[in-house]
Copies of this chain bind each other. A is one copy, B any other.
Amino acid sequence: MQTEKIVDILKRVDLFEGLDTAYLATLAMIAKTMRLDKGRTIFWAGDEGKGFYLVQSGRVKIFRTSFSGKEQILHVFGFGEAFGEVAVFAGDNFPASAVTLEPSELLFFPRDAFRKLLAREPDLALQMLALLSKRLRAFVNKVEELSLKEVPARLASHFLLLAAASRTDTFELDLSKTELSKYLGTIPETLSRTLKKMENQGLVSGNGARIEIVDRAGLEEIAEGLVRL
């Protein structure tokens, strides 16, 4: 792909926002474009972290798998989001696996080239600090959710989050129900039952992937664990 086209994309990415075009061009030079079908593995947990990735289109899930095969989705990244960058600094292996959820285009930034760039560009370092901080924050929330809340609370939180993002009370699920269950740290059966209970109690109404929040206050109480479903 042409460098200018990549620069255009980089300009719209949080991670690189506000950086000089000159630096972006350098970045674009070291980036490699990848196209992947749905369900393709980008890397496995334990692989050497040779660089990080940026999602240009499509979606990627980051997950861990237990010995018994249960999968916990840690993150789902979409357009403009970077992943794998921790390995760039820590200099060791990927702690989790990455697989495309849809046909996707990615940009790959090799570790060494990026490190050199970072050393001469302090603003970039600062920006990455902010990014990692935010990600760390997200994990604090995830740990809390998983350990402190039960499934209905996690699901209610997720719905409220999606509704806030779409600015309406109706929205589409961003993941298939099976994937969503893995993201919430549970299994499809439990998700299905929980959703049905919520519908029966008039909290939400659902049609496939389309969900409508009917009783927002009630849902918030569930999300906070004040009320039991």
- A224 at interface, CB cutoff 8 A: yes
Q: Please give, as numbers and ranges, the residues of chain B lying within 8 Å of A90 by CB-CB distance.
A: 130, 133-134, 137
A30-73 residues with Cβ-Cβ distance < 8 A to B are: 64-68, 70, 72
A143-B139 in contact (CB<8A) = yes
B137-A140 in contact (CB<8A) = no
- Closest residue of chain B to A66 (Cβ to Cβ) is B148
- A207 at interface, CB cutoff 8 A: no
Q: Please give, as numbers and ranges, the residues of chain B lying within 8 Å of A117 by CB-CB distance.
A: none
Which of A3-11, A14-22, A98-106, A119-127 lines the interface with chain B? A119-127
A143-B67 in contact (CB<8A) = no
Show the binding face of A for B, using Cβ within 8 Å: 64-68, 70, 72, 74, 86, 89-90, 95-96, 118-119, 122, 125-126, 128-130, 132-137, 139-144, 146-149, 185, 224-226
Q: Would you mind naming 28 contact pairs between A and B with Cβ atoms under 8 Å apart?
A: A64-B140, A64-B143, A64-B144, A65-B148, A66-B144, A70-B148, A72-B143, A72-B147, A74-B143, A86-B133, A86-B136, A86-B137, A89-B129, A89-B130, A89-B132, A89-B133, A90-B133, A95-B140, A119-B122, A119-B126, A128-B129, A132-B132, A136-B136, A136-B139, A139-B142, A139-B143, A142-B143, A146-B185
